[in-house]
Amino acid sequence: MLPRKDMFDIPEGVIYLDGNSLGVLPRGAAARAQQVIAQEWGQELIRAWNTADWMALPQKVGDRIAGLIGAPEGSVATGDTLSIKVYQALAAALKMRPDRRVILSDSGNFPTDLYMAQGLIGTIDKGYRLDTPAPEDVMAAITEDVAVVMLTQVDYRSGRMHDMKAITEKAHQMGAVMIWDLAHSAGAVPVDMAASNAEFAVGCTYKYLNGGPGAPAFIHVRPDIVEQVQPALAGWMGHDAPFAMEPGYRPAMSTERLRVGTPPIVQLSILDAALDAWDGVDMAELRAASIALSECFIAEVEARCPQLTLASPRDPQERGSQVSFAFDQGYAAMQALIDRGVIGDFRAPDIMRFGFTPLYLDEGDIRAAAEIIEAVMKGELWRDPKYQTKSRVT
C-alpha cells in the first residue's frame, strides 16, 4: 500500500517535492551506516571484507536495483558515479561499432552526459562527432551513420519522457547501440530493460531510490553482449580474479567487469537499507499514484496561480514523475516556497521543478503545497530581497 510514510524520516512541517533531485532519509539507513562504521569497520577492520561480506555487497545491491528496472539478476553493477558509468557505457558502445563515427543524443540531455561524450571524443581523437537534435527530432536523426544513441529517458527540466521501446527499436533497425540514462526513471516510472532490448542503461540512486547524497551509480549491460564489452576503465575490481594480482587485465565474465575501484561500502550499505522501502512495491501501482498526485498538483496550481506556466507535457503518459512550471522569477519564488516548508528546486533559466514520490507523499500533501504556492504568488512574497541572491546550488 502507498504511501509508506512510516518508512521515512521527513522533517516536521516540510512538504518535500524534491525527491527527483535528492530523496529523503529512509528509516534504518542511519542505523545501518552506524553499524557498518562502528561494528564492521570499527571492530572487524580489514577482516570485514570477508566477515561482513563487503565484497558481495555491490552485486547484492545491483540485483535489488535490477528488480526495479526490469533487468535480470547479475546484469547490474554498482559503484562509482553516474558520469563514470556514462563514460564506460559510451566507450564500450563505440568499440562495438568501429566503422561509425556519430554519437546521437538530444539538446535536452543532462549536461554531464554531453560533457562525458565530448571528453571521450577528445580523448579518442578519431573523427567522432556528437549530434544533439531537439528531443522531438531524435527519431528522424537515427540513421545508418549513427554508432550510438545515448538518451536520458526522462528530461531533467520538464519531465518529458522519451518512448524507450520505439527509439530502441529504431536504433537497432539502423544498426546502432542504445544507451539509456535512467537517472529520473529508476524508482519513478516502470522500466523494463529486458523487454526494451537496449544494450546499456546507467543511472544514479540518490533521487527516487533514496540512497543519500553521493550514493553509488549503476550500469546495466544486456547479458548476451557482456563478453563483447571492452571496459575503457579496466579497474582492479573489474578483473576476473582481483586477488590473483595478475600484471595484465582479464575482465570478469559478467557485468562486474564494469566495476572500477574499491566499492564505497558505507554508501552501498545505506542504499541497501534504503531499498527495503521498495520491497513489495508494484511499479504499476506506484506509477498510477504518481500520475494521480501530479494531475492533482497541476489542476490546483493552474487554478490558483495564473502567473505560472506549465512547462511539462500535459499528457501524464508523456512525462515522468515530476512537474515543472516556468516563471521569470522562478528562483526567488522557489526560495520563498522553501522558506515556508514546500521544498522543490530551480533549473535555469526559469524552471520551478516539483517531484512526486508516492512512497512518502499523498494527496493531502499536494493540496497543502498548492495553498502555500498560491500564497507566495498572490502575495508576491518572492520579491523579498533575501530571495534574490542565488546560492551555489539551486
Domains identified in the chain and CATH numbers = 5-26+282-385 (3.90.1150.10), 53-278 (3.40.640.10)
User: Taking a C-beta distance cutoff of 8 angstroms, is the pair 74, 255 a contact?
Assistant: yes
Q: Is 353 a catalytic residue?
A: yes
Catalytic residue among 181, 272, 345, 365: 181
Give the model confidence (pLDDT) of 1-51 as tens digits. 899 999 999 999 999 999 999 999 999 999 999 999 999 999 999 999 999
Catalytic residue among 8, 16, 87, 110: 110
Catalytic residue among 160, 170, 207, 257: 207
Q: Is 207 a catalytic residue?
A: yes
Looking at the whole model, is its pTM more than 0.75? yes
Report percent pLDDT > 70 for the chain.
100
Q: Is 287 a catalytic residue?
A: no
Catalytic residue among 206, 354, 356, 360: 206
Give the model confidence (pLDDT) of 245-258 as tens digits. 999 999 999 999 99
Q: Where do runs of H (alpha helix) occur along 232-282? A: 265-274
CA distance 211 to 173: 37
User: What values do phi and psi take at 48, rounded to 5?
Assistant: -65, -20
Q: Is 206 a catalytic residue?
A: yes
Q: Is residue 180 over pLDDT 90?
A: yes
Give the model confidence (pLDDT) of 334-357 as tens digits. 999 999 999 999 999 999 999 999
CA distance 346 to 350: 7
Catalytic residue among 85, 222, 347, 353: 353
Report percent pLDDT > 90 for the chain.
96
Q: Kindly tell me the sign of the dihedral angle through the C-alpha atoms of 292, 340, 185, 310.
A: positive
